Every structure is written in structure tokens, then in C-alpha cells.
Structure 1
Amino acid sequence: MNLDEERQSIRQELESMRENGARRQELSLHACKRLFFDLGIRPSMAAVRDLTQTGSASDIPKDIDTFWERIRSASRVRVGAGIIPKALEDRAGELLGALFEEAIVHARSAFDSEREEVQSQITAAERDTREADIRRQASEEAIRRSDARADAAWERVRALEAELATANTHGTVHQDSLQSSVRRLDAENEALRKRLEAEQSTNAGLRDRIDALHVELRQSTEHYAQQIKDAVAEAERRVKPMLVELDSLRSMAATYQSGVRDASRKEFEFIQQIAAAKARGDRLDSQLREQSDELDALTKEIAVLRTQQDVDPAVASLLCTLANSGRLSSDEMATIGTVADGHVGLPLRCPKCEEGEPELSEVDHRYELQCPECEHSSGPGHSRLEAVSRFLALKPVTSTA
């Protein structure tokens, strides 16, 4: 029996004891005995609990201690006579108990080693058995394959025998057909020989005809070659003047192209000259306009100077002040005339709207100062001084010539 079977038998014994009314301690002690003496296993709480399925974590150790106490009690040597002292007797019992335990340990180790050896032998035997089974299966498979090959070979032999018989039959038939074919081929060979002789005679006639054609072809070739040579000479005679004319045309074309290039170059130079002349004309035109503006300015300055050269600036300033203050009458204005106009300055803003810039106009030697914004006007006057004084006085007066 293996270890599992032993454990199962111990469980059955414990179950029967439990049914007979055994207590927990008795079950635990019985389990310890079986484990220690029968299985060689040191009793532990887990092993005892696994077998008895009863007891707590504090009760089972107590039962195990009781088991060991009984073992020690049974191991002590009790001597009836009082020759050995009590202490020596107890010590001897303990030594015997220790010796027994050591013997059990040694027996267990020997048992384990023997069990391992037996287990290894069993493993080797099982391995050999498996290998033998594998070899047996391989042998059986090889035998089956050999039988199959033998059956196939016998089938092949029978098929070949049948084919051989068929081939023999066919060989006889083929022999007959071969003889008839030989006879037919002999007849055809004789016919072909006669036909070959006829063809050879025909080829001889054709060969003679080919020789005659070769001679005729040679003559025709020489004749055509002479004609081609004459035609080439005639063509060269006709082409030479054309080539000369072509050379002259090429020279004329080269001359024309050079002339065209010269004309293009001259045209480009002429265009450049025109552009330069135009730029120069533009510069002269701008200079002329600038000089014209300068001449106009100088002319105006000359006119102003001519008007101012006969009047003292102080007198002219006095007259302007009197006119602006309204202390000169119309007759006095007419008497003064345009003598002081060169010293009269135009107002920058209109005194009425204070936004427009007054504009002075002269029509038929009559001066008028007018605002383009509010259309305030001085009216026509005999001089600029009169027009300015009227414009500033906001009193337009119409005077007759």
C-alpha cells in the first residue's frame, strides 16, 4: 500500500472509532500512533487534524504531548528491585527513549533511501516499458508497412503478368502488321525510286535552263550597268551648272545675311541715338521750363520794383495805414491811384467769414478783392489800395470810371 492508501485506511479506522463513541483525545492518540509507528511520520497538528477532522489548535498539541509522554513512559526501564536509584532509572529510561527515537530516525532515513531507490527502479522500469512499447509499436508499424509493400508487390507482379500476356498478344498482332507494313514500304520505295529517276532527269533539264538564264542575266546586267553609267554621266553634266548656281546663291545669301545683320546693328544704334536724343530733349525741356519759371519770377520782381522805385516805403506804409483805418476818402484814393500798390499787401483771411482766402482780380484796370467762400467783395476800385481798404472795411462801394 502506498502512502495515500495508508492515510485512507487510517481515516476509515478513525471513522469507525468515532461511530463507536470514541472521544477526540482517543482519536488523536490513535492517529499519532498510526502516523509514528506505521508510517514513520512525526505527528504534527496539521497531520493529526487532517486525519481526525476534529479538534482545535490548542487541543491537538496537548494530545500530541500526551502521546509523547506515553512513549517516554513506555520507554523507561522499570526495575522492580530497588538496586538502581530512581534518578538513574529515569535517566536510563530517557536514554533508551532517545536511542529509540534515533533508531526510528535512522530507520526512517533508511526507509526513505530504499523507497527512493525503489522509486527510481520503478521509474526506470516504467521508462523501459514505455520504450519497449514504443519499439513494439514501431515494429508492428514496420511489419504492417512490410505487409502492405508485399501486397502491393504481389499486385504489381500480377499486373505485370497480365500486361506481359497482353503484350505477347499485341506482339503477334504487331508482327503481322509489321510484315504488311514492310511489304507496303517496299512497294512505295520502288515507286519513289522511279519518281526520283524522273526528277533527276527533270533537274538536269532545269540545270541547263538555269545556266542559259545565268548567261542571259550576265548580259542584261552588263547592258543595264552601261545604261546606268551613261545616265550618271548625263546627270553629272546637268547638275554641275546647278551646283555652280547654288554656290552663287549661297554666297548671295551670305552677303544678304551680313547686310541684314549690319542693318539690324545700324537700326539698333539709331534707336539708341534716338533714345539718347529724346532723353537730352527731355532734359533741355525741363531746363527750359525751369528757366521760363525763373524769367516769370524775375519779370514779376522787376514789375514790383518798377512800381516801388518812385515811392518811399515809409510814405507807402503811411498811406496803407490811413486807407485801412478809413481816414482817406474816395477822392483821395482816386488821387493817389496806383502809386502805392506795390507796397499793398493782401489780407490772408476774409474779415467777414474768417475762412476764405481773398482773391484779387483786375479787369479793365479796375481792381476787385473777393472772398470765394462767402462771396464778400470790395467792388471795383481804381487801385489795389482802394480795393483792400474797402474789403477790410466791409463796405463795398461802386465807383464809376
Structure 2
Amino acid sequence: MNLDQERQAIRDELEAMRSQGVRRQDLSLHACKRLFFDLGVRPSMAAVRDLTQTGSASDIPKDIDHFWERIRNVSRVKVGAGAIPKALEERAGELLGALFEEAIVQAKVTLDSEREEIRAQISAADQRVRDADIRRDAADEAIKRSEARADAAWERLRALEAELLNATTHGNVQLEGLQTTTRRLDQENDALRQRLENEQTTNAGLRDRIDALHVELRQSTEHYAQQIKDAVAEAERRVKPMLVELDSLRSMAATYQSGVRDASRKEFEFIQQIAAAKTRADRLDAQLREQSDEVDALTKEVSTLRTQQGIDPAIASLLCSLVSAGRLSNEELDMIGTAADGHVTLPTRCPKCEEGEPELSQVDNRFELLCPECDHSSGLGESRLAAVSRFLSNDDPSALPTRLSTQ
């Protein structure tokens, strides 16, 4: 029995004693005895508690001390004779107890060494058993492989025998077919030999025909060569005048090309002259326009001066100021007429809408000032001064009158 089995047996004994009503202290003492004497283990609190499954941390050490006390009491040797003193008897008992404990230790060491040796022997035996099993398995595998190879060899042998039988049968069949083929080939050879003789006869006739054709071809070639020679001579005779004419045409073409080049050059020069003339014409046209504008401006100034020659500018300015102030009546304006029209300047804005730019129109020597935005009109007047006066007099009272200035 191993250590675990011994411990389980001790637990079973303790369980049986517990079922019989044995006290806890007796259970602990029995566990200490079994541990110390049977297992060679020094009793400890954990070991005793593990076996008995009862007792507290203070009771179990007391039980262990009681166990050792009993061991010491039992180990003492009591001598009945009274010649040995009491102290010597106790000392002798202690020495015997120590000797007993030392013997137990030596026995335990010997037991452990023997156990280790036995375990080593068991391990070696197990290893030998495993090696033997391995060798046996290898031998079994080798036997199985040998049997498999033998079976495969037998199968191969049977297959080869079957193939040999088939090959023999097939060889006989092929031999018969070969003989039949040989006879057929002999017949075909005879037929081909006969056909070859016929072909040779035909080839001899064809060879004669080819020789005759060669002679005919030679004659035809000589005849055609003579005809070609005559045709070439005739062509040369006809081509010579054409070549002369071609040379003359080439010279004429060269002359024409030189003329075309001269004409192109002259055309380019003419285009350059036209471009220069056009440039001068554009410049003169621009100068003409500038001079025309200057002439128009001068004409306007002359006409203005002519209109202003009939009245003094101071008087005209006075009349314009009177018109702006609205101090001249229609009869007075009719009496003045167009004498001061040259000094009248049109208003720049309509006095009614203050946005439109009035426009002056003249119909049958009568003048009218009209706003294109609001259609505010002065009506037809006998003069520009009258038209301006009417145009300014028809605005709103809140609108500021437009001032007239003299030129």
C-alpha cells in the first residue's frame, strides 16, 4: 500500500471509532500512533486534523503533547531492584527512549532507501516492458509488411500470368493478321508493278511529245524574237520625233515658268504699292475727318456769333435774368422776338420732374421745349426765349427756377 492508501485506511479506522462513540482525545491519540509507528511521520496539528476531521487549534497540540508524554513514560525502563537510584533509572529510561527514536530514524532511512531502490527497479522493469512492447510492435509491423508484400507479389504473379495468357492469345491473332496482310501486300505489289510498267510506257510517249514541243517552241521563239526586234525598230523610228517635240515643250515650259515667276513678283510689288497707297489714304481720311470736325465747330461758332451780333451781350443777359424772374409778359417777349435767342441757354433739367433733360424743337419758325420723361412742354413760342420762359413758368411753385446764363 502506498502512502495515500495508508492515510485512507487510517481515516476509515477513525470513522469506525467515531461511530462507536470514542472520544476526540482518543481519536487524536490513535491518529498519532498510526502516523508515528506505521507511517514514520512525526505527528503534527495539520496531519492529525486532516485524519480526524475534528478538534480545535488548541486541543490538537495538547493531544500531541499527551501522546509524546505517554511515549516517554512507556520508554522509561524501570528496574525493580532498589540498588539503582531513582534519578539513574529515569536517566536510563530517557537514554533508552532516545535510542529507540534513533533506531526508528535509522529504520526510516533504511526504508526510504529500500523504497527508492525498489522504485528504481520498478521503473527499470517498466522501461524494459515498454521496450519489449515497442520491439514486439515493430516485429508485428514487420510481419504485417512482409505479409502485405507477399500478398502483393502473389497478386502481381497472377496478373503477370493473366497478361502472359492475353499476350499469347493476342500474338496468335496478330500473327494471323500479319499473314493476311502479307498476302494482301503481295497482291498489291503485283498490281503496282503492272501499273509501273504501264506508266513507264506512257512516260516514253510523253517524252517524245515533249521533244517535239521543244523543237516547236524553239522555232516559235526565234519567230517572236524577230517580230519583237522589228517592232522595237519601228517604235524607235516613231519615238524620235516625239522626243524632239518633248524637248521643245520642256523649253517652252521653262520659259513659261520664268514668266510666271516674273508675273508673281510684279503682282507682289503691285500689292505692296496698293497697301502703301491705302495706308496713305487712311491717313489722309483721318486728317480730313479732323479738319471736318474743326470746320463744323468753327461753323457753329460763326453762326452763334452771327446770331449774337444783333444785340449787346449785357442787354441779352438782362433780358435772360428778367425772364428767369418772370417779369416779362408774353407781349414783351413777342416784341423782343428772336433777337436774344443767341444768348439763351436751355435748362439742363426739367423743373417738373427734375430728371428729364429738355429737348428743343423748331417747327415752322416756332420753338417748343419738351421733357421726354414727364412730357412737360412749353408749347409753341415765337422764340427760344419765349419757349424757355413758358417752360419755366409751368413748373411747380416749390421747384427752383433754372438759371439762364449767357454765352
Q: TM-score, normalised by structure 1?
A: 0.67
- Measured in 1, the distance between the counterparts of 2:234 and 2:107 equals 142
- Secondary structure class of the residue paired with 2:361: strand
Change in 2 beyond 3 A, CA 1:187/1:351: closer
Match of 2:17 in 1: 17
- Measured in 2, the distance between the counterparts of 1:293 and 1:317 equals 30
- Measured in 2, the distance between the counterparts of 1:89 and 1:213 equals 161
- Residue 82 of structure 1 and its aligned partner are, at CA, apart by 2.7
- Secondary structure class of the residue paired with 2:131: helix
The one of 201, 212, 215 equivalent to 1:205 is 201
Match of 1:386 in 2: 386
Change in 2 beyond 3 A, CA 1:56/1:289: farther
Contact 1:78 1:89 in 2 (8 A): no
Match of 1:365 in 2: 365
User: After the TM superposition, which residues 10-159 of structure 1 pair with which residues of structure 2 at under 5 Å, given as runs?
Assistant: 10-72=10-72, 74=74, 81-82=84-85, 84=87, 89=91, 93=94, 108=108, 111-147=111-147, 149-150=149-150
Residue 7 in structure 1 maps to residue 10 in structure 2: no
- Secondary structure class of the residue paired with 1:6: helix
Change in 2 beyond 3 A, CA 1:236/1:104: farther
Change in 2 beyond 3 A, CA 1:22/1:199: same
- Measured in 1, the distance between the counterparts of 2:344 and 2:194 equals 150
- Residue 156 of structure 1 and its aligned partner are, at CA, apart by 6.6
- Secondary structure class of the residue paired with 1:67: helix
- Residue 199 of structure 1 and its aligned partner are, at CA, apart by 5.9
- Measured in 2, the distance between the counterparts of 1:3 and 1:267 equals 139
Cα displacement string for residues 18-47 of structure 1 (whole angstroms, at most 9, x for unaligned residues): 233222222222222222322233334443
- Measured in 1, the distance between the counterparts of 2:147 and 2:101 equals 67
- Residue 334 of structure 1 aligns with an amino acid whose one-letter code is D
Match of 2:400 in 1: none
Match of 1:399 in 2: none
- Residue 301 of structure 1 aligns with an amino acid whose one-letter code is E
- Secondary structure class of the residue paired with 2:362: strand
- Residue 66 of structure 1 and its aligned partner are, at CA, apart by 3.5
Change in 2 beyond 3 A, CA 1:12/1:335: closer
- Secondary structure class of the residue paired with 2:320: helix
- Residue 365 of structure 1 and its aligned partner are, at CA, apart by 2.0
Residue 347 in structure 1 maps to residue 350 in structure 2: no
- Residue 132 of structure 1 and its aligned partner are, at CA, apart by 0.7
Change in 2 beyond 3 A, CA 1:384/1:96: farther
Change in 2 beyond 3 A, CA 1:362/1:45: same
- Residue 212 of structure 1 aligns with an amino acid whose one-letter code is D
Q: Which moved more, 1:257-266 or 1:148-157?
A: 257-266
Q: Which moved more, 1:3-12 or 1:226-235?
A: 226-235
- Secondary structure class of the residue paired with 2:369: strand
Cα displacement string for residues 63-97 of structure 1 (whole angstroms, at most 9, x for unaligned residues): 334334444555567778337479x949x94x876
Count of matched residue pairs: 382
- Measured in 2, the distance between the counterparts of 1:151 and 1:187 equals 48
Cα displacement string for residues 139-191 of structure 1 (whole angstroms, at most 9, x for unaligned residues): 23333443454466567768878998x79x979x969x979998x89988987
- Secondary structure class of the residue paired with 1:40: coil
- Measured in 2, the distance between the counterparts of 1:377 and 1:146 equals 142
Match of 2:403 in 1: none
Change in 2 beyond 3 A, CA 1:334/1:143: closer
- Residue 123 of structure 1 and its aligned partner are, at CA, apart by 2.2
- Residue 125 of structure 1 and its aligned partner are, at CA, apart by 1.8
Percent sequence identity over matched residues? 60
- Measured in 1, the distance between the counterparts of 2:162 and 2:352 equals 151
Cα displacement string for residues 105-150 of structure 1 (whole angstroms, at most 9, x for unaligned residues): 5654554454344323322321221221121122233334434544
Change in 2 beyond 3 A, CA 1:276/1:143: farther
Change in 2 beyond 3 A, CA 1:149/1:351: closer
Change in 2 beyond 3 A, CA 1:19/1:195: same
Change in 2 beyond 3 A, CA 1:42/1:259: farther
In structure 1, list runs of 5 or more residues that go unmatched: 396-401
- Residue 141 of structure 2 aligns with an amino acid whose one-letter code is E
- Residue 382 of structure 1 and its aligned partner are, at CA, apart by 2.6
Contact 1:77 1:89 in 2 (8 A): no
- Secondary structure class of the residue paired with 1:64: helix
Higher RCO (CA 8 Å, separation ≥ 6 residues): 2
Contact 1:36 1:42 in 2 (8 A): yes
Match of 2:312 in 1: 312
- Residue 346 of structure 2 aligns with an amino acid whose one-letter code is L
Change in 2 beyond 3 A, CA 1:178/1:220: same
Change in 2 beyond 3 A, CA 1:7/1:287: farther
Q: TM-score, normalised by structure 2?
A: 0.67
Change in 2 beyond 3 A, CA 1:340/1:127: same
Change in 2 beyond 3 A, CA 1:360/1:200: closer
- Secondary structure class of the residue paired with 1:43: coil
- Residue 304 of structure 1 and its aligned partner are, at CA, apart by 1.9
Superposed CA RMSD in Å reads 5.5
- Residue 208 of structure 2 aligns with an amino acid whose one-letter code is A
